[in-house]
Amino acid sequence: MELGMIGLGRMGGNMARRLLRGGHTVVGFDPDAGARKALADAGGGVADSLPALVAALPAPRAVWLMLPAGRITDDTVDALAGLLAPGDVIIDGGNSHYQDTLRHAQALAGQRIDYVDCGTSGGVWGLAEGYSLMIGGDAAVVARLRPLFATLAPAADAGWGHVGPVGSGHFVKMVHNGIEYGLMQAYAEGFSILQHKREFALDLHQVAQIWRQGSVVRSWLLDLTAEALGKNPTLDGIAPWVADSGEGRWTVAEAIDLDVPAPVIALSLMARLRSRDSASFADRLLAAMRNEFGGHAIKPE
Amino acid sequence: MELGMIGLGRMGGNMARRLLRGGHTVVGFDPDAGARKALADAGGGVADSLPALVAALPAPRAVWLMLPAGRITDDTVDALAGLLAPGDVIIDGGNSHYQDTLRHAQALAGQRIDYVDCGTSGGVWGLAEGYSLMIGGDAAVVARLRPLFATLAPAADAGWGHVGPVGSGHFVKMVHNGIEYGLMQAYAEGFSILQHKREFALDLHQVAQIWRQGSVVRSWLLDLTAEALGKNPTLDGIAPWVADSGEGRWTVAEAIDLDVPAPVIALSLMARLRSRDSASFADRLLAAMRNEFGGHAIKPE
Amino acid sequence: MELGMIGLGRMGGNMARRLLRGGHTVVGFDPDAGARKALADAGGGVADSLPALVAALPAPRAVWLMLPAGRITDDTVDALAGLLAPGDVIIDGGNSHYQDTLRHAQALAGQRIDYVDCGTSGGVWGLAEGYSLMIGGDAAVVARLRPLFATLAPAADAGWGHVGPVGSGHFVKMVHNGIEYGLMQAYAEGFSILQHKREFALDLHQVAQIWRQGSVVRSWLLDLTAEALGKNPTLDGIAPWVADSGEGRWTVAEAIDLDVPAPVIALSLMARLRSRDSASFADRLLAAMRNEFGGHAIKPE
Amino acid sequence: MELGMIGLGRMGGNMARRLLRGGHTVVGFDPDAGARKALADAGGGVADSLPALVAALPAPRAVWLMLPAGRITDDTVDALAGLLAPGDVIIDGGNSHYQDTLRHAQALAGQRIDYVDCGTSGGVWGLAEGYSLMIGGDAAVVARLRPLFATLAPAADAGWGHVGPVGSGHFVKMVHNGIEYGLMQAYAEGFSILQHKREFALDLHQVAQIWRQGSVVRSWLLDLTAEALGKNPTLDGIAPWVADSGEGRWTVAEAIDLDVPAPVIALSLMARLRSRDSASFADRLLAAMRNEFGGHAIKPE
């Protein structure tokens, strides 16, 4: 198929490459000239503006967005609305909030431009191993795009699927990331306990390697943990500072909205918030309270 | 009544003073000469050794321990076992684990020395306001000691009680402290949220003052919070480093042992543990994992 | 002062009564005739419609809303916008989300109708003891309304305050309720641990009574807990089903939005969600997983 | 090698079979005649008492325990102490607490009987896929037993390892199970959120299948989850009642003992405790408190 790819960063660039390897034609756009050149070097076409990208595609056009969620995605959808024609389709492969996706789909429906949301998992490993794709949208439109999904996924018939109406793909991906937070935190706590048991002098990399085969906790995240511990067993030089990219927050909000208790996902997010707050006001107030009622010494800053 | 007080620190010294003010006779022992002198200055008798203290008391003796839980209390009980006589009573007013208390009581029962555990709350304010006393032990023995409890408590008939058999006093006090952790953490989180809402520029001391009257969250801990925020509204100079003294840990362990979910108490304890671990291995591993799967940048130490 | 009170339920009716006792003139409206009659019986004026209420008040009018948050408050504010005149003021004393309040204030600013938000705490006890009031809005307008606040609060100069610009009153009240969830959960966990320690056969009402005097955990919520346990020591006939009224959810969402970890408040909310989900899908899936990997028996429904 | 296997239940029976298939000689004992017959049918030897089993093995003997942790393991070790000779070795492959293991090892050291602890993961799938083995003990002894581990593990050189001194194998396995609790809870929460999003009518089995390929959350537990959801998409007939087998509790206790925050593991355990407490006293007290302060209705039992 022919596809326009907007956003040629770590994710979009690799996905374009995987599509090219699969025999598709890809025209890419990114404001960064280096990203465009990288795609051209890999055999893709490039456009230096959105209108140019749209002009380079045959109708009905398929335009894939691989952009940061929020304003950039919003603005790009708005711009495309003025460039695309009835029967064209926009696929948002990024991490947009599913409610934004519903809003975009509704806004474009009046112009008969289709909208498909494709939650995409796999990270930097997706180029080689394929991406897990959770797709929401009209069944006929998704069916038409099947060759793209079959190439991007780990196998033509596995690792991707049409999960429901528009919005549901991003919803499922959001929850996927919430689960990911919980899994990561569970491993992090466990390895931290092992690391603190000084008397056993455990080799954490060895433990991770053992668990990778046959244990109940084997997983891809454990494979990566083993990789990280192999390279740097003591994690020297790595600050205890953990970013989050939004989907964890949305998952907690959605859980609460649906009356579903999700303590582990919520706590995993909050552990990350705490990691970035080295001067916690809450903890300072606790120390002040203890001083008030018990005369317990305060540790000076 | 006549009482021997062992341990004349912040708690024991004040309790001895409150008993003296209440007309009791107190002979105190502490290895620290300054603590002994302070009691003598307040009108108490002092002994410079355990044998001397025991010798100074009329039979049947009542000896109150106000010591750190664990080895010091254990050793003192052992030493007293060799000095006391049948009919004497030891009252452990400290924060001993209730199972240690059961062990002590059992060991002394053979010598017909009574053992009473008295969980004591009130902190540095107890001298003026009285102490809340949760008492375990034989009913007749507790009844005999009533004048002491009536003086130490905020009122002769309120703020103290015989809650059950030996061990139950320390058990109730342990849970009391677990609740305390949860209450403190709830306030700390709430004030931290207020503090982070920069656009409203809230005066946290004012908010605490408002809540002290008529609100659902009014409490003594809130009174102390208001006091702390009045003195130091931004908590300048106070490190986000929160100690814990054992009872919170025991409460969590006991909850689990009894199959009782206690998420808030457990999380309150863990927030304190995290406050003291500025180089969290778990958080460093999370950062390393994110780098592995997503190529996300690591923050250097 | 003269005041219109809209909403004469448990909160609004009692507040109107407290204002009447304080010498103010109150005209009330409620769609429920019984609620109107109760106010008339207490010496208040009543109106049987919003226009009638507005017509009954002298300019500049002060209209207090004591309504459920959300649509009812929104609709009432919209209706009042068509009835009030420049210089009039609406005080929202309910539990509106502070962002709704900001929206209302902005919408009315064009008409020069003032908007004040007054977070109100105190529950059914407020009539006798006074309400804790957290007030946001323009300083001059709040100053003009001072006689009302001074009467509603526990004391003329305590238990109420102007905490910041419009919206800040509801924000502070929202966080107040988040803290309340955490405090309640801490007590609930602690008493549950005590209750499960069968071997000590503790009298929970007695323990609560002891703690009310002199202990670190004394509070108004503990007073109420003692009251509840005194009436019904085993809580017979009370289902383990706990409602929540919105502010706890908003507090968690706001904490996350501000990057503030609030594990105890979040978990307190989630404990309530779990209390209402007796057929937890998550727990059923856990049981199914255990069966898959370990052949562990599933408990049939 | 020749091995005595004590305990021929789900785990021990399968492990004996896997050893037989690997060319080892196994003599088994179990009080249950059916379990002994199953082993005999599979080509193993059987003994109908511990002395008979010991007598059937050539010196130096290797005896593997695959028993429930606690009293049964304790009693069996005690009995073997009277039957074995210097140079023999006991391997405890069950889920004993590592401190019990240290105690056993120390008790047997005086008789020069070696003790090896082997944390074993893999569940009912281990027979076919091999077991993950975390081994603690003397290096020379572990080396001598290598042929057994190489057969039981998924591969001769992978999925097993000597992690440290005696006790460390059970310690690592304990933490493994703590992590397992966290992973399971993360998936359970995520699928529960998906299940509650009625408007998307998601097919949970399909979602699990998609995630198994290429996604960040792929894992063996996800494979099993997909299996369970494939068989029973709505989990009909499965009660929300989740057992726990001890290691999760020990992991939380150990984390606290080591000052390591482990919120996710702790909360995963507590979710299981809550699943089994359908008449939660804590939740009933919360409902009673809400009634006290706000007059909120109580739901009758």
| pLDDT tens-digit readout, D145-186 | 999 999 999 999 999 999 999 999 999 999 999 999 999 999
> Would you state the CATH architecture of domain C173-284?
Orthogonal Bundle (1.10)
Are D282 and B259 an interchain contact pair (Cβ–Cβ within 8 Å)?
A: no
DSSP structure string for B132-192? EEEEES-HHHHHHTHHHHHHHSSBTTBSEEEEESTTHHHHHHHHHHHHHHHHHHHHHHHHH
D64 falls in which pLDDT band (50, 70, 90)? very high
Which residue among C165, C214, C254 places its CB closest to the CB of B153? C214
C245 falls in which pLDDT band (50, 70, 90)? confident
Mean pLDDT score of chain B, rounded to an integer? 97
Contacts of D275 in chain C (CB under 8 A): 280, 283, 286
Q: What pLDDT was estimated at residue B128?
A: 95
Contacts of A292 in chain B (CB under 8 A): 224-225, 227-228
C284 falls in which pLDDT band (50, 70, 90)? very high
Q: Average pLDDT of C261-289?
A: 96
Are B282 and D261 an interchain contact pair (Cβ–Cβ within 8 Å)?
A: yes
Question: With 90 as the cut, is the pLDDT of residue D108 above it?
Answer: yes
Contacts of D262 in chain B (CB under 8 A): 270
Q: Average pLDDT of D139-145?
A: 98
Rounded to a whole number, what is the distance in Å from the CA of B263 to chain C's nearest CA?
Answer: 7
Q: Average pLDDT of C182-192?
A: 98
Are B278 and A278 an interchain contact pair (Cβ–Cβ within 8 Å)?
A: yes
Are D282 and C271 an interchain contact pair (Cβ–Cβ within 8 Å)?
A: yes
C123 falls in which pLDDT band (50, 70, 90)? confident
Cα–Cα distances in Å, from D47 out to B37, D2, D16, D37?
Answer: 74, 14, 14, 10
Q: Where are the domains of chain A?
A: 2-164, 173-284
B61 falls in which pLDDT band (50, 70, 90)? very high
Q: What pLDDT was estimated at residue A301?
A: 82
Rounded to a whole number, what is the distance in Å from the CA of A176 to chain B's nearest CA?
Answer: 14
- Where does A110-244 have alpha helices with state H? 126-129, 139-144, 146-152, 168-196, 204-211, 220-231
Contact D254, D179 (CB under 8 A): no
Are A255 and D193 an interchain contact pair (Cβ–Cβ within 8 Å)?
A: yes
Q: Average pLDDT of A121-146?
A: 96
Which residues of C are identified as catalytic? 173, 180
Question: With 90 as the cut, is the pLDDT of residue C296 above it?
Answer: no
Neighbours of chain C (3+ CB pairs under 8 A): A, B, D
Q: What pLDDT was estimated at residue B296?
A: 86
Pairing verdict, β A62-65 and A89-92: parallel
The one catalytic residue in A129, A173, A231, A301 is: A173
**Spatial separation of the C-alpha atoms in residues B55 and B85, rounded to whole Å:** 11
Q: What pLDDT was estimated at residue B245?
A: 87
Contact A179, A219 (CB under 8 A): no
Q: Any residues with CB less than 8 A from the CB of C172 and at least 6 apart, and which?
A: B194, B202, B207, C119, C134, C136, C163
Mean pLDDT score of chain D, rounded to an integer? 97
A22 falls in which pLDDT band (50, 70, 90)? very high
Contact D193, D179 (CB under 8 A): no
Question: With 90 as the cut, is the pLDDT of residue B157 above it?
Answer: yes
Q: Average pLDDT of A115-138?
A: 96
Q: What pLDDT was estimated at residue C5?
A: 98
Residue in chain B lying closest to D268 (CA): B263
Contact A274, B213 (CB under 8 A): no
**Spatial separation of the C-alpha atoms in residues A35 and A134, rounded to whole Å:** 26
Interface probe with D: pick from B259, B265, B296, most Cβ of D within 10 Å = B259
Contacts of A260 in chain C (CB under 8 A): 273, 277, 282
Which residue among A179, A185, A217 places its CB closest to the CB of D180? A217
**Spatial separation of the C-alpha atoms in residues A152 and A147, rounded to whole Å:** 9
**Spatial separation of the C-alpha atoms in residues C45 and C52, rounded to whole Å:** 11
D301 falls in which pLDDT band (50, 70, 90)? confident
Question: With 90 as the cut, is the pLDDT of residue B297 above it?
Answer: no
Residue in chain B lying closest to D274 (CA): B261
3 state SS for A47-87 = CCCHHHHHHCCCCCCEEEECCCCCHHHHHHHHHHHCCCCCC
Superfamily of domain D2-164: NAD(P)-binding Rossmann-like Domain (3.40.50.720)
Record the pTM. Answer: 0.97
Residue in chain D lying closest to C245 (CA): D296
**Spatial separation of the C-alpha atoms in residues D174 and C240, rounded to whole Å:** 33
Which residue among B188, B229, B279 places its CB closest to the CB of A286? B188
Contact D177, D247 (CB under 8 A): yes
**Spatial separation of the C-alpha atoms in residues C61 and C63, rounded to whole Å:** 6
| pLDDT tens-digit readout, D266-289 | 999 999 999 999 899 999 999 999
Pairing verdict, β C25-29 and C2-6: parallel
D295 falls in which pLDDT band (50, 70, 90)? confident
Question: With 90 as the cut, is the pLDDT of residue C78 above it?
Answer: yes
**Spatial separation of the C-alpha atoms in residues B206 and A259, rounded to whole Å:** 34
Rounded to a whole number, what is the distance in Å from the CA of B269 to chain C's nearest CA?
Answer: 11
Could you confirm whether D180 is annotated as catalytic?
A: yes
Q: Average pLDDT of C74-79?
A: 98
Q: Average pLDDT of C68-86?
A: 97
Rounded to a whole number, what is the distance in Å from the CA of B279 to chain D's nearest CA?
Answer: 11
Which residues of B are identified as catalytic? 173, 180
Rounded to a whole number, what is the distance in Å from the CA of D156 to chain C's nearest CA?
Answer: 23
Question: With 90 as the cut, is the pLDDT of residue A294 above it?
Answer: no
| pLDDT tens-digit readout, D217-263 | 999 999 999 999 999 999 999 999 999 989 999 999 999 999 999 99
A235 falls in which pLDDT band (50, 70, 90)? very high
Neighbours of chain A (3+ CB pairs under 8 A): B, C, D
SS3 category, B258: coil
Are C190 and B168 an interchain contact pair (Cβ–Cβ within 8 Å)?
A: no
Q: What pLDDT was estimated at residue B71?
A: 96
Contacts of D293 in chain B (CB under 8 A): 216
Are B184 and A296 an interchain contact pair (Cβ–Cβ within 8 Å)?
A: no
Are B267 and D263 an interchain contact pair (Cβ–Cβ within 8 Å)?
A: yes
Which residue among A197, A201, A264 places its CB closest to the CB of D189? A264
Q: Average pLDDT of B235-262?
A: 96
Residues of B with CB under 8 A from a CB of D: 216, 249, 252-253, 256-257, 259-263, 266-267, 269-271, 273-274, 276-277, 280, 282, 293
Question: With 90 as the cut, is the pLDDT of residue C149 above it?
Answer: yes
